[in-house]
């Protein structure tokens, strides 16, 4: 369930079928930058989650898979 400021990393990872570690690795490599809340926790909007799907599974998006 997405919270008011966006989904936490664990929820975003579940939605894109990846691990939280993978999402952090994408950020470390400069492929994606998550927003942070006032505590410094990563927050992901639905648009962020869609972008992550496109990064992680580019050929699936072309084929219309994973929607």
Q: Tell whether 47 is covered by a domain.
A: yes
pLDDT in the model for residue 31: 95
Instruction: Give one DSSP letter per residue of 7-58, joined into a string.
Output: B-HHHHHHHHTS-HHHHHHHHHTTS---EE-TTS-EEB-HHHHHHHHHHH-H
- Per-residue pLDDT reduced to its tens digit, 3-59: 568 999 999 999 999 999 999 999 999 999 999 999 999 999 999 999 999 999 988
Give pairs for 27-34: CB < 8 Å, separation 24+: 31/55, 34/9
pLDDT in the model for residue 1: 52
Q: Tell whether 41 is covered by a domain.
A: yes
Q: Tell whether 4 is covered by a domain.
A: no
Q: Tell whether 33 is covered by a domain.
A: yes
Whether 2 has a pLDDT exceeding 60, the answer reads no
Q: Would you place residue 61 in the very low, low, confident or very high pLDDT band (cuts 50, 70, 90)?
A: low
Q: Tell whether 53 is covered by a domain.
A: yes
**In the beta sheet, which residues pair with residue 6?**
3
* CATH value at residue 21: 1.10.1660.10
Q: Tell whether 2 is covered by a domain.
A: no
- Say how many domains are in the chain: 1
């Amino acid at each position: 369930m997405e919270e008011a400021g966006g989904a936490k990393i664990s929820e975003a990872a579940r939605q894109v079928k990846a691990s939280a570690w993978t999402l952090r690795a994408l950020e470390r490599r400069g492929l994606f930058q998550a927003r942070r809340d006032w505590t410094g926790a990563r927050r992901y909007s639905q648009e962020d989650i869609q972008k992550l799907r496109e990064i992680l599974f580019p050929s699936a998006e072309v084929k219309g898979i994973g929607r």
